[in-house]
Amino acid sequence: MTEEKKYPIYRFTAEWDQDNYAHNGTGFSKMYQEKPTEEQLHIELENFKIKLENEQIGFGHPIIKWHNIEYSFIENEVWALIWFYHMTYNKFENDGEALKSFDKFVRRKELQNIEEDHDADYGLMGAEDRWRWEVCHCDGCKKNGWVAINH
């Protein structure tokens, strides 16, 4: 049996001060189809910064000081954790295949969490509860060629 394709996953994080709130921060993970170039990562980071600046101006509390804004490589994996859902590029014939792949992924991470140093535990964010799994069929997923499993 051939191994499933793993995609590079990066995390983008930012921390800043704004006039009403010291040390605010946020971040997001992104899966790429191919290993991104340094330039692609810098563009993503720059867009992230502009988005955050505009958002905070919109809320009436502009960012006054950046502490850091950076990206880091997380891992090559079949599925990426976003926010109470996992996604991957859709190469599945049907939902059943996607769920089977996701089940294999969750089992692998559960095993890793049992065996490895617990400081390095992979947060499954509810994915360990299989009854929560629900394949998303939204237009966004279709448009991007993704399959997402909510949990």
* Residue 148 CB, nearest approach to Zn ion (Å): 5
Stretch that binds Zn ion, among 25-33, 42-50, 52-60, 131-139 (CB under 5 A): 131-139
Residue 138 touches Zn ion, criterion: CB under 5 A: yes
Ordered DSSP codes for 78-120: SSEE-SSEEEEE---SSHHHHHHHHHHHHHHHHHHHHHS-GGG
Closer to Zn ion by Cβ: residue 23 or 91: 91
Q: Assign residue 125 a region: left if phi > 0, alpha if psi is -120 to 50, beta otherwise?
A: left
- Structure-block tokens of residue 132: 């929560």
Residue 136 touches Zn ion, criterion: CB under 5 A: yes
Stretch that binds Zn ion, among 16-24, 49-57, 92-100, 134-142 (CB under 5 A): 134-142
Residue 135 touches Zn ion, criterion: CB under 5 A: no
User: What is the C-alpha to C-alpha distance for residues 107 and 115, in angstroms, rounded to an integer?
Assistant: 12
Stretch that binds Zn ion, among 54-62, 72-80, 111-119, 142-150 (CB under 5 A): 142-150
Residue 32 carries which DSSP code? Answer: -
Q: What φ, ψ does residue 34 adopt, rounded to 5°?
A: -130, 160
* Residue 136 CB, nearest approach to Zn ion (Å): 3
**Of the candidates 11, 125, 141, 150, which one interacts with Zn ion according to CB under 5 A?**
141
- The residues that touch Zn ion, with contacts defined as CB under 5 A, are 136, 138, 141, 148
